[in-house]
Amino acid sequence: MKITGFVGSPCKNGNVDLLVSQVLEGAATQGAETCKIYLNSLRILPCQSCGTDPHPKHCLFDDDMSQIYDALETSDVIVLGSPVYFDTVSAQVKLMIDRSNCLTPYVKKDDGTLGFERRLKKHKKGIFIAVSGTDQDFNAILATIKGFFNWTNTKLADIIYHAHDDNKLGSVKNDQTKMKQAFELGIKVSKCDVE
């Protein structure tokens, strides 16, 4: 089983990074192949809404998004972590989501009708991790994630929310309950067959 973690926070060793890492470490104890991608370290151009079908490529742009397309094509499980910024995902995650537009393009079908075509055939499971301050709401961010997972043929299997009231880098490591939850989720998801 291959599990890829996407860290959507610009802060390495921060709460998002640590929780994604815990899921991956739990999965690795069960023999899963794991990979972690820091979105902030990639060069991803914003979507230009070109309207051109790039098939057989995923996009007309050739940039670091190719690493993400590869992970989405080959992974059995996706772990996506993001801080909550203005009630939604970080800019790094939003760039990735917007550039996934061509994975399910609206095209003319063989029978002449128009409709969405799912280009990622492999079914995956998805875990979402969101980190915010205690005064923020997690409801709005979930709509964005559900849309992205649907677009990429990923079934949302589980969610970890972490709300904190400090600005210390990586303070979640002091919350052993939350760290254990993430680790055990990695074990659990690596044992389940992808539907």
pLDDT at 53: 82
Would strands 124-133 and 154-164 be described as parallel, antiparallel, or unpaired?
parallel
Helices (H), 85-159: 91-98, 139-151
Tokens of 65: 């998004």
Tokens of 75: 């992974």
DSSP letters, 62-84, are -STHHHHHHHHHH-SEEEEEEE-
pLDDT single digits (tens) 110-155: 898 988 888 899 999 999 999 999 988 888 999 999 999 999 999 9
**Domain ranges in the chain?**
2-191
CA–CA dist 26, 11 (Å, integer): 22
**Which pTM does this prediction carry?**
0.93
CATH code for 2-191? 3.40.50.360
pLDDT single digits (tens) 12-51: 999 999 999 999 999 999 999 999 999 999 999 999 988 8
Q: In the predicted model, what is the mean pLDDT of the chain?
A: 93
pLDDT single digits (tens) 112-123: 898 888 889 999
Poorest-pLDDT segment among 50-54, 71-75, 149-153: 50-54
Tokens of 150: 């649907």
DSSP letters, 47-61, are P-------TTSS-S-
CA–CA dist 92, 89 (Å, integer): 8
Q: Find how far residue 157's CA is from the centre of its chain.
A: 12
